[in-house]
Structure 1
């Protein structure tokens, strides 16, 4: 008979305790908060500037009526702008991280510490040199 080693709850605790799951959870929370910033940037800064040129304060008001259906394509344009802002920010973050890693990889590695044999041989060499000079 097979012995039960932990069960569903134990496996779930182990899954949750993994570092990458916690990192992902933090990323989702920060991403959600950043989405609010991107939405505000689009609605409060970009759209009023664009509104100067297209005579609309918000693309959300843009729609077309086909028969009895109203297609609000302005909301889609707002969503695309938000996506582009988020993609640009993620691209810049990844580019910065990659640049940091490249600089870290390009740095020369420190020479390894000499082994006991190397230290001993260096001492012998120096003693022989002193003896030859005397």
Structure 2
């Protein structure tokens, strides 16, 4: 029983599990902020423009069935606004240098077929120059400065 407790404690308090729990908690809090911004600010701007805080009252009756297209329209607008807010917040955080927005995972080197980091510029096994899947402006600057610093290979 004691051995089982020691294994459980190592599992529950291990780095990966703790990181996952903290990430989940922070993600939930961040989602609440984004949702509040979209609902309490942006939807109120929609209400100021269209005169209604949402469109849930809009419906259509067809063969005795009520089709509430207004509720769908409201939910769709909420989704679009939350996605836009999240996009802008992530872009701002990335621009000011908060957070780690580097690619995660690995990719296969097309030359030697070994696995390297997905944001690698040069394969650590065969030293071939790689093209990352998505290169942003910061990464492009880093790549050019690396090429200038590295001696030309013959």
With the length of structure 1 as denominator, give the TM-score of the two structures.
0.56
- Deviation at residue 61 of structure 1 after TM alignment: 0.7
Q: In 2 relative to 1, CA 27–104 (structure 1 residues): closer, same or farther, beyond 3 Å?
A: same
| Structure of greater relative contact order (alpha carbons < 8 Å, 6+ residues apart) | 1
Task: Note if 1:76 corresponds to 2:72.
Answer: yes
Match in the other structure for 1:30: 30
**Which structure's residues are more often helix, by fraction?**
1
CA distance in 1, matches of 2:83, 2:37: 13
**Pairs aligned (count):** 104
Tell me, yes or no, if the aligned pair for 2:34 and 2:86 is still in contact at 8 Å.
Answer: no
Q: Which has the larger radius of gyration?
A: 1
Structure 2 residue ranges without an equivalent (≥5): 98-136, 147-154
- Deviation at residue 105 of structure 1 after TM alignment: 8.3
With the length of structure 2 as denominator, give the TM-score of the two structures.
0.50
What root-mean-square deviation, in Å, do the aligned CA atoms of Structure 1 and Structure 2 show?
Answer: 3.4
CA distance in 2, matches of 1:17, 1:33: 25
Match in the other structure for 1:12: 12
Structure 1 residue ranges without an equivalent (≥5): 110-134
